[in-house]
Amino acid sequence: MPSDEEKLACKPVPLTSTGFNVSAQLPHGLQVAHIKAAMEDFLDFIGFINQQLSTKSIMRIESMLMPANFSSIVGEFMSSTLPKYCASIVKNRYHNGHPDLIPIGVFPDDAAQHASDGIEIKASRYNRGWQGHNPENTWLMVFVFDSNRPSDITPKSFQFKMVVGAQLTKSDWIYSGRSATSRRTITASVTDTGYQKMMTNWIYKA
């Protein structure tokens, strides 16, 4: 049977109601209230999933999945849910298209292989050094969270720590190197200039 600590960790940490920046500048009709609603939906989702898993003595989803896979779930959930609250954007219907969210009705079938208009969504456990596949001229929004990894021993609840976003240019990215023996996919990381842009336009802080 799950321990009392494990059962408590099934319930995510609620959002800080005073943690939202109503002055944040957002594109394409998106509003801070839309982001808050989508974040609350995710907390409901992960709380429901983990409490159901607990009844079957199955480990929580964030403790089960590889860290990168769980981060992808957080990001995909947000990009799928934000259009539910913001009628002027839609999830990009092009497979692996960029960016994740695009203005509704602008591209044929709401699908764009690569476009400069829209919002790219990332989710990360890290407070900076956010990564993408390529340097992009894009409006980037990052959902920073804290949760267990499979390697963790002590249970802790999922928590959104911060949301930041800003318009970045290719000069705000730098390619991340890798060793000759590494099999890691080459990625680009947000530089200090991009980080400062995003932190200046913070959206949520716990």
SS3 for 168?
Answer: strand
Catalogue all structural domains in the chain, each as residue range(s) with its CATH number: 24-176+184-205 (3.40.600)
SS3 for 182?
Answer: coil
Contacts of 87 (CB under 8 A, 6+ apart): 29, 104
CA dist 86 and 137 (Å) reads: 23
CA dist 132 and 130 (Å) reads: 7
User: Would you write out the chain's pLDDT as a tens digit for each of its 206 residues?
Assistant: 889 999 999 999 999 999 999 999 999 999 999 999 999 999 999 999 999 999 999 999 999 999 999 999 999 999 999 999 999 999 999 999 999 999 999 999 999 999 989 999 999 999 998 988 778 899 999 999 999 999 999 999 999 999 999 999 999 999 865 544 544 566 899 999 999 999 999 999 99
- What pLDDT score does 134 carry? 78
Backbone CA torsion sign across 25, 201, 41, 109: positive
- The token pair that represents 176 in the structure block: 């991340």
Instruction: Supply the DSSP string of 126-151, one letter for each residue.
Output: SSS--EESS---EEEEEEEEE---TT
User: Which residue from 23, 7, 16, 12 is spatially nearest to 56, judged by alpha carbons?
Assistant: 7
